[in-house]
Amino acid sequence: MVEVAREQQWRLPHPIAGTPLAHVALPLPLRAVLHRRGIATTDQAEALLCDQVPPSPHDHFPDLGKALARLEMACRSGEALAVCGDYDADGMTSTALLLRAFRFLGACPKAAIPNRMDDGYGLNPGMVEQLHDEGIKLLITVDNGVAAREALERAADLGVDVILTDHHTLPDQPPKAMALIHPATTPEHSPYRGLAGVGLAYVVARTLAVEMGRPEAIASSRDLFCIGTVADMAPLTGANRTLLKEGLQHLHRSRCPGVQALQQLAGLGDRPLVADDIGFQLAPRINAVGRIGDPGLVVELLTAEDQDQAFELGRRCDALNRQRRELCDAIEAEAIALLDSDPSPLPSFLLLAQSHWHHGVIGIVAARLVERYQRPAALLAADGEGLMRASVRAPEGFAVDQALQHCGHLLERFGGHPAAGGFTIRTSAVTELHDDLNRLASAWLDQRGQGLLVEPEALLTLEEINHDLWAGLQKLEPFGAGHPKPLFWSRGCRVSDQHTLRGGHRRLTLEQNGTERQAIIWRWPATAAIAQMIDLAYRVTQNHWRGETRFQLEVQALRTHHPAMEIHRVSGVYRMQRLGPNSLKLLNPAGESMVCNITDNGVLESDDSRAQHPYVAGLLQEACVGLGLRP
């Protein structure tokens, strides 16, 4: 969604000296993107572009050998064991992955996932006692467990072996378990450092199956790894990137009936999938169940062997996803109405509380408010006995975990990471908490600025949006957390046509130097005007319609185009103007001017000796980017 009611802060990319990554076979704008992301050498770029086989996990996880020995004993003896998961997509896919593998290898596994509403997060002593009473002597956690101190102590008291696989922050006191499989236990630069819960489950299952001589046991494991990794927004670097890139080539032909059913219900067809297909189509149908239903439904779906049964279970997941969307839309509308009806200025930290809101979806709505208002947000719902439970989200740069730690004396429980968190609080303390959070957010906003931050990574002309660029983007796939789809910008585009689409979207036809491209703006207000000449920030996609494929620009921000630009410094305002395809004019605060040309190699040349001064050269470099003379 593009916001038009708020001020935008455009931060154009820093100039690049010379030609970046000259020996890498990618279009210049994509090489500029990689360079600005810290990929400075050809070897680093090739490592991103080429598939690299991950090293043996035995060399990276110190406790893996102990864990595998115990699991192999369980599989060879047909032992009953429990897979203790979580109710999000990562936890549910991890659970299903291990259930499928362990059953094939001979064990008798069962799933044990807490209910979000009744049990809260993670392994608890009651679960341990119940499983022990059922005769289970081995637990393996996925996507949780390292913070379950009381549950782990109870397991030790009862003589139950516990293998922990988790990627959440390790506590100061090491968890009590027979084996710990955690990214933090790997060497500092290990490619396994970014694994989510499902990645750890995949490592365990694959290594166990290979060592037992039964690689067919993990026939569907890679598919579940792909879904869980993207759904959990794990960084797409290292082993995550290699395994996902490999898995996406085959995911559309999955042998798991549950995955087949999800793809059919999402209408994805028989084509290779990309990460966005998981993030926007498959993952929501799974996550919705954990948020407002019984997570056991997803585990049953992803472990089903009958296609008809899987499709029926998938239909139930699909229905819950529609219900989740309706809940989110209703709560979002109510939250916006509460903010709009308040005559006081918008607070720096948005904190809204309603007893009837659903715990399972308030985090999604909080994230939407962050996107809309560009400030931290917490939504609270009643939790009984004078308590409220909250989900918190924040823009990049505001550390949620640190903010909650600062206010910890007011909270009953809290946790999280820099971008998201949650807490439980007594109703009587909510006002004081909001005051404290407002002070923290105000100080942060004073430094950052309150408008929508627009940070494109490289300049494109409309002519450069072509098949060569698209082929280069395909080489850089998969995109996701830690490796996002590039945000480009173009300047001086004429809006030659526009149409309002159903759903409140706007389609534009853009023209620049004789080249036309189509653009789409999602959720654009019907009454908001668009200037005839604009600069825009966007991501490049393709639109498939009635057998025709076209490039499409998904607009993230736009502004009225101005042919000249200003750079504000302590000494005054410098004005820059483009004179031609390869030249610009700089006017300093005293009214003095100089002209500078740019060679084909990107070198600045001027007859004015002042252009060689580092301060002036820096201004000229910045002007080259802002005026479209550099990518």
Flag whether pLDDT at 26 surpasses 70.
yes
Average pLDDT over residues 444-462: 86
- Contacts of residue 37, Cβ cutoff 8 Å, sequence gap at least 6: 457
* Beta-strand relationship, 533-545 and 515-521: unpaired
204 has a pLDDT exceeding 60: yes
pLDDT at position 525 over 80: no
Residue 175: partners with Cβ closer than 8 Å, 6 or more residues away: 145, 146, 147, 148, 149, 152, 164
Task: Specify the range with the lowest mean pLDDT, choosing from 60-74, 379-393, 515-529.
Answer: 515-529
Residues paired with 164 in a beta bridge: 141, 180
Residue 121 has pLDDT above 80, yes or no: no
Question: In the structure, what pLDDT confidence band is assigned to residue 113 with cuts at 50, 70 and 90?
Answer: confident
pLDDT band with cut points at 50, 70 and 90 for residue 159: very high
Percent of the chain with pLDDT over 70: 97
Query: To 10 degrees, the CA torsion angle through 331, 333, 334, 339?
Result: 120
| Torsion sign (Cα): 150, 152, 154, 156 | negative
Given a cut of 80, whether residue 449 has pLDDT beyond it is no
Q: Residue 382's pLDDT band (boundaries 50, 70, 90)?
A: very high
Q: Where is pLDDT greater, at 525 or 442?
A: 442
Residue type, 149: R
3-state helix/strand/coil string of 178-227: CEEECHHHCCCCCCCCCCCHHHHHHHHHHHHHHHCCCHHHHCCHHHHHHH
Of 493 and 118, more confident: 493
Give the SS3 label for residue 524. coil
Could you give the 3-state DSSP secondary structure of residue 469?
helix
Kindly report the backbone phi and psi dihedral angles of residue 37, in degrees, each rounded to the nearest multiple of 5, phi listed first. -90, 5
pLDDT recorded at residue 5: 39
What pLDDT is attached to residue 244? 95
Residue that has been written with the tokens 């470099």 in this structure:
621
Give the span between the Cα atoms of 220 and 82, in whole angstroms.
Answer: 20
Question: For the domain bounded by 342-453, which CATH number is listed?
Answer: 3.10.310.30
How many Cβ atoms are within 10 Å of 297's Cβ, its own excluded?
18
CB of 361 within 8 A of CB of 328?
yes
Tell me what the mean pLDDT of segment 179-196 comes to: 95
Question: What is the pTM assigned to this prediction?
Answer: 0.84
Reported as a single tens digit per residue, the pLDDT across 537-579 is 999 998 877 667 889 999 999 999 988 888 888 888 899 888 8
Query: In the chain, which residues fall in CATH 3.10.310.30?
Result: 342-453
- Percent of the chain past pLDDT 90, that is, above it, reads 65
Confidence of residue 4 (pLDDT cuts 50, 70, 90): very low
432-437's contacts with Cβ under 8 Å and 24+ in sequence apart are: 433/351, 433/407, 434/347, 434/349, 434/351, 436/406, 436/407, 436/410, 437/349, 437/351, 437/376, 437/378, 437/403, 437/407
Query: What is the average per-residue pLDDT within 34-45?
Result: 92
Q: Which residue has the higher pLDDT, 613 or 80?
A: 80
8-37+457-560 fold: OB fold (Dihydrolipoamide Acetyltransferase, E2P) (2.40.50)
d(CA 280, CA 321): 12
State whether the Cα torsion 147-150-151-153 is positive or negative.
positive
Residues 191-204: what's their mean pLDDT? 96
- Given pLDDT bands bounded at 50, 70 and 90, which one contains residue 605? confident
Question: Between residues 70 and 625, which one has the greater pLDDT?
Answer: 70
Range of lowest pLDDT (111-120, 318-327, 459-468, 531-540): 111-120
How would residue 7 be classed by pLDDT, with cut points 50, 70 and 90? low
Ranges in the chain annotated CATH 2.40.50.460: 8-37+457-560
Residue limits of CATH 3.90.1640.30 in the chain: 57-320
pLDDT score at 115: 66
201-205 mean pLDDT? 98
CA distances, 344 to each of 266, 379, 434, 446, 449 (Å): 43, 19, 15, 19, 19
Is the CATH number 3.40.50.1950 carried by domain 57-320? no
Rounded Cα distance between 512 and 462, Å, is 6
Instruction: Supply the pLDDT for residue 116.
Output: 61
Reduced to 3 states, what is the DSSP secondary structure of residue 88? coil
